[in-house]
C-alpha cells in the first residue's frame, strides 16, 4: 500500500507533526510505502527523522493556494499513491482538491473539534473567518472517502460541523512508544532536577503546551498564586513554543511568582519525570497528546474536564478533572495533588496502565493500517 501523507508542516512544535513522526517507522515496518508532502517551509523540522524512518519527503512551498494545489496534483501524478491522507486545515483543503483532480482516493484526519462556540469567541480569532473556513472545509470534505478522528468527541462534533455522515468516520487515537517515554524513577528525577537547578524536595508543577489561547495557560497562571499559598517554595515550569498569548502569559507570571519559562524543549518526557504534577488546563482539545504522554510516563495529572481530555484520560480514577476556566478549582486540584502524594501516585499508576492498554504506538499503528485498508475497500458514501 502506497500512502501520500499531506500535512501543513513538519515542524517540531505541533501535535499532528509529532504524531506523524512517531508513527512513520511503524507504518513503514507494517508494509506501508510512505510519502510525506509538507506545505510550509520547516527549517530544523522532522525531515531527517522521516527520511530515516523510510519515508520519501517532499516540500511543496508555493505562494498562493492555487499554485500549491496544482503542485500537489502534479506530485500525486508522479508518485501515483493508492491513497492520499491529509492532516490540518491547509492540507485538508488543498490536498483534497489535488487528490480529486488526480482521481486518487483521499482520506482526512480530524484532529480537533473546530468551528465551535469556543472558537468563535476565542481571543485573536475573527468569527466571520472561522465561519468562512468552516464553509470551505465542509465543501471539500464532501469528496473525501473517509475520515479518521482522534476521539469520539471530535468525530461527533465534526460530523455535524462538516455535514458528513458519522458512518464515514473511524476513531483512532495517537500513540507513543513507551520505551521512548520512559517512566518516573528516583535517578531520572534527580538528574533532571539537577540540570534545572531544582532541589529534590521542591514541589514542581509542569505544563507543556504552545502559548496559545486554546491551551489555557493563562488559567493556570491565574491559579498559581493560590497554589503558592499552601506551598510557597513550589515552582511552575512552562515548556512550549511562544505564540499569540506569550506577552499576556509573561505578565501574569511576573505577578504570580515562581514561574519559569523553558521555551520549546526536546526533553519534555524527562521534564515530566521530574515533576510532581502535570497540568493540562486547555479550553478544548482534539485528544490531549501531552496528557496521554504524561499518562505513559506516570506523572500525576490535573486536567481541564473538556470532552476530548476526559475521553483520553478516562475518569477521576486516572487524573484530577476540573471545570475549565476555573482558576480556583484548578488551584485546589493542584494543591491536593502536591499534598496527597500517595493518592496522586495511585492515580498515576492506574493512568499508566490505561496508556499501555490504549495508546501504545504498536497498537495505534495497527488501527491506522486497518483504516487505510478499509478506506481502499469501501466506496465513498
Domain ranges of the chain: 2-175+361-377, 178-358
Residues 37 and 102: their CA atoms lie apart, in Å, by: 15
274 closest CA partner among 335, 165, 186: 186
Helix, strand or coil, per DSSP, at residue 113: coil
Residues 20, 36: contact at Cβ < 8 Å?
Answer: yes
Q: What does the pLDDT read at residue 380?
A: 44
Residues 107 and 96: their CA atoms lie apart, in Å, by: 8
**pTM value?**
0.89
Q: What does the pLDDT read at residue 379?
A: 59
Q: What does the pLDDT read at residue 381?
A: 41
267 closest CA partner among 326, 199, 177, 195: 195
Q: Assign residue 63 a region: left if phi > 0, alpha if psi is -120 to 50, beta otherwise?
A: beta
75 closest CA partner among 49, 89, 54, 94: 94
Residue owning grid cell 486540584:
333
Residues 349 and 318: their CA atoms lie apart, in Å, by: 8
Residues 143 and 268: their CA atoms lie apart, in Å, by: 39
Residues 199 and 207: their CA atoms lie apart, in Å, by: 19
* Domain 178-358 class in CATH: alpha beta
Q: What does the pLDDT read at residue 122?
A: 72
Q: What does the pLDDT read at residue 118?
A: 76
Residue 217 φ/ψ, nearest 5 degrees: -65, -25
- How far is C-alpha 233 from the chain's CA centre? 31
pLDDT tens for each residue of the chain, 381 residues long: 999 999 999 998 888 999 999 999 999 999 999 999 999 998 899 999 999 999 999 999 888 889 999 999 999 999 999 999 999 999 999 999 999 999 999 999 999 888 888 776 777 777 888 899 999 999 999 999 999 999 999 999 999 999 999 999 999 999 999 999 999 999 999 999 999 999 999 999 999 999 999 999 999 999 999 999 999 999 999 999 999 999 999 999 999 999 999 999 989 999 999 999 999 999 999 889 999 999 999 999 999 999 999 999 999 999 999 999 999 999 999 999 999 999 999 999 999 999 999 999 999 999 999 999 999 987 544
* Domain 2-175+361-377 class in CATH: alpha beta
Residues 50, 70: contact at Cβ < 8 Å?
Answer: no
Amino acid at each position: 500500500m502506497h500512502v501520500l501523507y499531506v500535512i501543513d508542516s513538519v515542524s517540531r512544535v505541533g501535535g499532528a507533526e509529532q504524531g506523524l513522526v512517531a508513527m512513520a517507522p511503524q507504518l513503514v515496518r507494517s508494509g506501508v510505502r510512505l510519502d510525506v508532502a509538507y506545505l510550509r517551509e520547516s527549517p530544523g523540522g522532522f525531515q531527517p527523522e522521516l527520511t530515516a524512518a523510510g519515508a520519501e519527503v517532499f516540500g511543496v512551498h508555493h505562494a498562493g493556494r492555487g499554485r500549491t494545489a496544482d503542485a500537489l496534483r502534479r506530485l500525486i501524478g508522479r508518485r501515483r499513491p493508492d491513497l492520499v491522507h491529509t492532516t490540518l486545515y491547509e492540507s485538508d483543503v488543498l490536498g483534497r482538491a489535488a487528490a480529486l483532480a488526480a482521481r486518487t482516493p483521499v482520506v482526512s484526519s480530524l484532529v480537533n473539534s473546530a468551528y465551535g462556540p469556543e472558537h468563535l469567541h476565542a481571543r485573536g480569532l475573527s468569527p466571520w473567518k472561522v465561519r468562512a473556513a468552516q464553509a470551505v472545509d465542509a465543501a471539500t470534505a464532501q469528496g473525501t472517502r473517509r475520515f479518521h478522528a482522534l476521539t469520539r468527541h471530535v468525530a461527533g462534533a465534526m460530523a455535524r460541523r462538516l455535514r458528513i455522515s458519522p458512518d464515514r468516520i473511524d476513531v483512532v487515537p495517537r500513540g507513543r512508544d513507551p520505551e521512548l517515554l520512559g517512566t518516573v524513577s528516583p535517578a531520572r528525577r534527580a538528574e533532571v532536577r539537577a540540570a534545572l537547578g531544582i532541589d529534590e524536595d521542591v514541589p514542581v508543577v509542569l505544563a507543556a503546551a504552545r502559548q496559545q489561547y486554546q491551551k489555557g495557560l493563562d488559567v493556570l497562571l491565574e491559579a498559581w498564586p493560590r497554589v503558592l499559598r499552601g506551598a510557597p517554595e513550589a515552582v511552575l515550569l512552562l515548556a512550549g513554543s511562544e505564540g499569540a498569548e506569550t506577552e499576556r502569559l509573561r505578565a501574569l507570571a511576573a505577578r504570580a511568582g515562581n514561574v519559569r519559562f523553558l521555551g520549546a524543549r526536546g526533553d519534555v518526557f524527562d521534564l515530566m519525570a521530574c515533576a510532581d504534577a502535570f497540568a493540562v488546563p486547555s479550553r478544548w482539545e482534539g485528544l490531549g497528546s501531552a496528557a496521554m504522554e504524561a499518562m505513559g510516563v506516570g506523572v500525576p495529572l490535573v486536567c481541564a474536564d473538556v470532552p476530548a481530555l476526559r475521553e483520553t484520560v478516562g475518569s477521576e480514577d486516572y487524573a484530577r478533572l476540573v471545570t475549565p476556566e476555573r482558576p480556583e478549582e484548578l488551584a485546589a486540584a493542584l494543591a491536593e495533588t502536591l499534598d496527597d502524594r500517595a493518592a496522586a501516585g495511585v492515580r498515576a499508576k492506574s493512568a499508566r496502565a490505561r496508556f499501555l492498554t490504549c495508546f501504545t504506538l504498536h497498537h495505534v499503528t495497527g488501527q491506522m493500517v486497518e483504516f487505510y485498508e478499509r478506506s481502499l475497500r469501501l466506496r465513498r458514501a
